[in-house]
Structure 1
Amino acid sequence: MTTFKYFSDTYLEEFTTQIIHVMTMDDSVAVYCDDTIFYPQGGGQPCDLGVIIIDGCAHRVHHTETTEKGIAHVLESHPSLLTSIGKQCIQKIDIPRRLLNAKLHTAGHLLSHIFEELDHNLSPAKGHHYPDDAYIELIESERTHDTFSAELINLKINTLVNKSPRKILSFELNLSEVQSLRPQLSTFIPQSTLMRMIAIDGFTPVPCGGTHISNTTELKGLQVTRIKRKKDRIKVSYSIN
Structure 2
Amino acid sequence: MTIELFREDAYLRDAPAMVHSITQEGGIVLDRSVFYPTGGGQPGDSGRLSWPGGAIGIATAVRTHDGAIALVPSEPGGIPEPGTQVEQALDWDRRHRHMRVHTALHLLSVVLPFGVTGGSIAATHGRLDFDMADAPQDKAEIEARLNDLVAQDLRVAEQWITEDELDANPGLVKTMAVMPPRGTGRIRLVRIGAENDPVDLQPCGGTHVARLGEIGLLRLGKIEKKGRMNRRVYVHLDS
Whether the 8 Å CA contact 1:174–1:195 is kept in 2: the answer is yes
Distance 2:79 2:100 in 1: 36
The structural deviation recorded for 1:104 is: 0.7
Q: Provide, for residues 140-197 of structure 1, a one-character-per-residue CA deviation record: whole Å limited to 9, x for no partner.
A: 5xx7x784421001111221122x2211111222223224142564762145032221
**Are residues 183 and 208 of structure 1, via their aligned partners in 2, closer, same or farther at CA, if it must alter by over 3 Å?**
closer
Aligned residue for 2:178, secondary structure, equals coil
**Are residues 198 and 94 of structure 1, via their aligned partners in 2, closer, same or farther at CA, if it must alter by over 3 Å?**
same
Distance 1:231 1:177 in 2: 34
The CA RMSD over aligned residues, in Å, is 2.2
Q: Which residue of 2 aligns with 1:119?
A: none
2:212 counterpart of 1:216? yes
Whether the 8 Å CA contact 1:6–1:36 is kept in 2: the answer is yes
Distance 2:92 2:181 in 1: 32
**Matched residues, number:** 227
Amino acid at match of 2:117: A
**Are residues 203 and 123 of structure 1, via their aligned partners in 2, closer, same or farther at CA, if it must alter by over 3 Å?**
farther
Q: Which residue of 2 aligns with 1:71?
A: 69
Distance 1:63 1:158 in 2: 31
The structural deviation recorded for 1:37 is: 0.4
Q: Which residue of 1 aligns with 2:165?
A: 177
Q: Which residue of 2 aligns with 1:6?
A: 6
TM-score normalised by structure 1 residue count: 0.84
**Are residues 146 and 17 of structure 1, via their aligned partners in 2, closer, same or farther at CA, if it must alter by over 3 Å?**
closer
**Are residues 130 and 80 of structure 1, via their aligned partners in 2, closer, same or farther at CA, if it must alter by over 3 Å?**
closer
Aligned residue for 1:165, secondary structure, equals coil
Q: 185-194 or 88-97, which moves further after superposition? A: 185-194
Return the match for 1:200 from 192, 195, 201.
192
Amino acid at match of 1:167: R
Q: 190-199 or 107-116, which moves further after superposition? A: 190-199
Q: Which residue of 2 aligns with 1:38?
A: 35
Task: Trace 1:1-241 onto structure 2 (pairs within 5 A).
Answer: 1-25=1-25, 29-69=26-66, 70-75=68-73, 76-79=75-78, 81=80, 84-116=81-113, 122-131=114-123, 134-139=126-131, 147-162=136-151, 164-179=152-167, 180=169, 181-182=171-172, 185=175, 188-192=178-182, 193-201=185-193, 202-229=198-225, 230-241=227-238
Aligned residue for 1:203, secondary structure, equals strand
Aligned residue for 1:160, secondary structure, equals helix
TM-score normalised by structure 2 residue count: 0.85
Distance 1:92 1:39 in 2: 12
Query: Runs of 5+ in structure 1 lacking a partner?
Result: 117-121
Distance 1:80 1:44 in 2: 28
Whether the 8 Å CA contact 2:147–2:217 is kept in 1: the answer is no
**Are residues 43 and 80 of structure 1, via their aligned partners in 2, closer, same or farther at CA, if it must alter by over 3 Å?**
closer
Q: Provide, for residues 91-121 of structure 1, a one-character-per-residue CA deviation record: whole Å limited to 9, x for no partner.
A: 00100000011111111111101222xxxxx
The structural deviation recorded for 1:133 is: 5.6
Whether the 8 Å CA contact 1:131–1:239 is kept in 2: the answer is no
Aligned residue for 2:23, secondary structure, equals strand
Whether the 8 Å CA contact 2:28–2:70 is kept in 1: the answer is yes
The structural deviation recorded for 1:24 is: 4.2
